[in-house]
Structure 1
Amino acid sequence: MQLSIKNKIKSTLNTVSKIGFFHLFSANIILQIVGFGIQIFLTRILSVDDIGRIKVMQSFIGIATIIAGLGVNTAILKLCSEDIDDNQKKKLFINGIKFNFITSMIVLTICIICSFTKIYSSDNIINVALRYYSIIIPFNVLNDLGIVYLQSQKKIKDMSRVQIITKVISVLFIILFSILFSLSGFIFAYVLTGIISFIIFLFLFKDELKEFLKIPITKKYIKNIYNIGKYAFATNSIGQILAFVDVLFMNYLIKDNSAIGFFGTAQLIITGLMIIPTTFNQIIVPYVSGNCKSKNKVIKIYNGYYKKMISLMFAVIFISFFVIPIFIPIIFGSKYVNSISYFRILLVGLFFWSISATRGIILLGIGQVKYNFYVSLVTACFNIAFNYVLILKFGASGAAYGTVLGFFVGNIVSKKIFHKAINNKYI
């Protein structure tokens, strides 16, 4: 029996590779390498304070983008992965675009208004820069919809190509404009890349968008999107808060842009390592959705991925702990040796995040997104409490410890809620 299950898991993974897993994995590696290249370049021409400012601004933009999206991207991924006709998928996609355009413009307006106050930061450079940086919000939201729609249709290669093209364009613009205009040039290049990505998607989806004006926002489709999106929005919002709570607390509590810059560099490397679990998760959703009526099939898929994830992340973290710190001062500069201690602490948090994320993606695939919200909510509460207390006591190091403790608790909660969700789904 065990051999049979093992063979089926191997068969599933082989199928996944054939439909584009390695293509996507290679693309993600390229994206991460390019992303690292940009950050390395920026550390050579911008001050540590400016690197810290960028991290703070990206935190606010990330949260604003999630709020503007209202979970529509997750709903589109789930609904358009299901076995429905192409016309229904097109109507869902277009309804999502129209709805998100309205919500993103509202959020953009609020963000610009807030930039004229000191809500964001006591650093006026950040406040002024965010007036222009916020323009990226509607483009981020709509581009995300394009990515998840391609993913839902299993067009992994198309999705990868678009991401690589836009990233290469981004590199060229960021290098050019950062050299010419420093921090302001970086922001201009980032916004310009978002606009170009949006134009690429317009051409890519020209067939789907032919009837854009004829297809109205329909209560039926918005209701379907809302039923999934409401939990996804809450979950994603909390997820973004979890991702940026450390930086935001440092922004308000210690007000040291250089410390944020060092911590942000450590986070950047951790984000690069997340390519491994994230790539698996990008692939698995359509296949879980396609088998969501069978509890046994879902459990088999989960067990296969979960065991491989644990083994893989143990190896990745062990090697990274000893090898990557050697290269940090070489690649980023000697002053970034201060990032090493943060990096090693955050590696532990990466492990807990990775195995918890596998459960979350399975729950998304079977439509039990409300349970992901419960996990995120509990994790966020602990994470916020840990970060606040530990940052006050230990500064930036406290942010790293707080993040690890938060994800440790989140993993325990995730395990308990996951099994409850599976049992409730297949009563």
Structure 2
Amino acid sequence: MHIIDNVLSRVMSIGPIQRQSLISFVSLIGVTAIGYLATIYFAHFLGPAILGSFYLFTAYFGIFDVISDGGFGGASIKRISEGKNPNEFFTASIILRFVLLGISIVIFIIMSPYLVGITNSELFYLFIITLTVGSINGICAIDVLGTARIGISQTSNFINTMVKLVIQVLAVFVGWGLGGLIAGFITGMIASAVINFKFIRLKLTKCNFNHFKDMSTFAFWTFLSSGGVLMFSYADTILIGYFLNSEEVGIYRIAFQLAAFSAVTVTVFNSVLFPRISRWHAENDIAMIQLTLSKAITYCLILAIPVTAGGVLLSDKLMYFLYGASFQSGSSCLIILLFAQIANIFMYLFTMCLNGIDKPRYSFYVTLISAILNIILNIVLIPVFGITGAAAAMLLTMLINAGLAYAFLKPVVTVPLELRSIGYMIGSSMVMACVIIASTSYVKIQDFTNLFTIVLMGALVYFIILFTLDKKLTSDIKNILTKMQLPFISGD
């Protein structure tokens, strides 16, 4: 107990943003690692076809969940984070969520005959249950997110993922297949909702038309922007299912998930920074927004640049030894998606900042243009180039999205990139790539052990060179560790 208290006291000695980012990053890395191991297990035991059917199911869920949210989830978090009438906004958001849930279910019932993969009665009813549980989970999360209690939110997300994975692994082991994957998905959200519910501080109270109206403007543009994000995120999955088959969906989504590891830190900064940027904007502290956003980009690229470099060289081996021969055809797709994830870092942070400074309309404009372009490119490229075409469409639209988002953001918030640090990352990655090429020319990668050894060696080379060259970055990280009073850093 003394050891735990000592660790907690050291973590709490760090500044709030760094502390929350560190906690989020450590938990996210742990959850991500477990998630990847589970996906590898599913890939070997279920194959790409069943996984593809599950990814189609979750894609449809994402779309209808946004309809049931209507943008009011983000709007209520925004208004609650500003500290004015939080109970009233919380109450209004709950009322609206249940009304929109009913509308979403009706739309699903009408559209279900036309949705690829939702063809039997079991999936039909499972989808309605999933949508209902997702809405309840979203309601419970509003309080902790709006009051910037990111630790609780991260804990509930961790519980969500862990419960989901445990149930899914057990279900797959006993032969439940697709139904088991969906059951785990539902159970995880229930567990998350229970955790968030226990920490709700806001109270249900009387609200009036003005509270609905105050949220509606922000919600309208947030809803449209979220709809665009979903078209951007799931159009490729759904259109691959339409033009090709569920097996190709499974291969594409596995490659996408593997590529997403390179930008895993961006989700941490998104959840940590949004309520703070919202408050800084309300206080007109633009300089703090600029500094923090610049730092966030740098820290996200620390992992993204070397992972992309290594992934380009080892894509074929990664897909084969991690997921099996049936997924190896996704290696070229993986290379393109790795570059897309670098663009995703800028896109994600810039659009988050637009919403944080109360510019959801511009965020919508950016997302709408990108989403329409993404759909058009997918329709043109998938029939000709298959899943590689879908990956190319994703890369192009992410680049355009990031560029447009910054064009709208720049008049209010300029983001000076830390070019020296980024240059060191690129240089360190190039040396790492040379080491990998030299290693693979002498040692053939014949099993997972060889692959893991080369990846680990490349990572060590990259970080040793980076932290040797970039004194400023090293100092920033050392400062965080020193405040935690780690003996090997502080000299104790």
TM bin (shorter chain): 0.7 to 0.9
Give the 5 Å matches for 1:176-195: 176-178=170-172, 179-195=174-190
Show the 5 A alignment for 1:5-404: 15-84=15-84, 88-115=85-112, 117=113, 119-121=114-116, 123=117, 125=119, 128-178=122-172, 179-205=174-200, 207-209=201-203, 212=204, 215-254=205-244, 256-292=245-281, 293-310=284-301, 313-322=304-313, 325-404=316-395
* 3-state SS, counterpart of residue 176 of structure 2: helix
User: What is the CA distance between 1:124 and its match in structure 2?
Assistant: 6.1
| Maintained 8 Å contact 1:72/1:226 | yes
Question: Does the 8 Å contact 1:69/1:103 carry over to 2?
Answer: yes
Cα distance in 2 between the residues matched to 1:271 and 1:73 = 25
The aligned amino acid for 1:263 is: Y
- SS of the equivalent of 1:367 reads coil
Alpha-carbon separation, structure 2, partners of 1:183 and 1:219? 44
The alpha carbon displacement at 1:401 in A equals 1.1
Code of the aligned partner of 2:242? Y
What is aligned with 1:8? Answer: none
Q: Superposition RMSD on alpha carbons, in Å?
A: 2.4
**CA distance in 2: counterparts of 1:171 and 1:261, whole angstroms:** 18
Residue in structure 2 matched with residue 6 of structure 1 by the alignment:
none
Higher relative contact order (CA 8 A, sep 6+): 1
Distance 1:410 1:389, change over 3 A: same
Comparing 27-36 with 299-308, greater Cα deviation is found at: 299-308
Conserved? CA contact 1:49–1:257, under 8 Å:
yes
- Separation of aligned partners in 2, 1:68 and 1:19: 33
Describe the superposition over 1:184-216 as per-residue Cα deviations: whole angstroms up to 9, x where unpaired: 2222332233333333333332x435xx3xx24
Measure the CA separation in 2 of the matches of 1:271 and 1:224: 36
For residue 47 of structure 1, give the secondary structure of its aligned residue in structure 2: helix
Gaps of 5+ in 1: 1-13
Shift of 1:96: 1.0
Deviation at 1:312, TM superposition (A): 5.1
**Aligned counterpart, 1:11:** none
Aligned residues: 398
8 Å contact 2:72–2:216 — kept in the other structure? yes
The answer as to whether partners of 2:66 and 2:227 remain within 8 angstroms in 1 is yes
Is the 1:133–1:191 Cα contact (8 Å) retained in structure 2?
no
Distance in 2 (alpha carbons) for counterparts of 1:268 and 1:134: 26
Q: Deviations over 1:347-393 (max 9, x none)?
A: 11111121122211221221111111111011112211211111122
Native 8 Å contact 1:111 1:131 kept in 2? no
Q: What's the secondary structure of 2:82's corresponding residue?
A: coil
What TM-score comes out, normalization by structure 1 length?
0.85
Give the aligned residue type for 1:340. Answer: S
**CA separation in 2, counterparts of 1:112 and 1:271?**
33
Summarize the Cα distance change of 1:415–1:373 in structure 2 as closer, same or farther, 3 Å threshold.
Answer: same
Residues 239-277 of structure 1 show CA distances to partners (whole Å, capped at 9, x for unaligned) of 0110011111112222x2211111111112233333211
- For 1:222, what is the secondary structure of its paired residue? helix
Does the CA contact (< 8 Å) of 2:260 and 2:338 recur in 1? no
Paired amino acid for 1:336: F
What is the distance in 1 between the residues matched to 2:105 and 2:115?
14
Alpha-carbon offset, residue 310 of structure 1:
4.8
Distance in 2 (CA, whole Å) between partners of 1:303 and 1:40 is 35
Asked if the contact 1:57/1:130 (under 8 Å) is kept, the reply is no
Identify if the C-alpha distance between structure 1 residues 194 and 305 changes in structure 2 by more than 3 Å, giving closer, same or farther: closer
Paired with 2:251 and 2:170, the residues of 1 have a C-alpha distance of: 24
User: Does the aligned pair in 1 maintain the 2:162–2:188 contact within 8 Å?
Assistant: no
CA contact (8 A) 1:19 1:154 kept: no
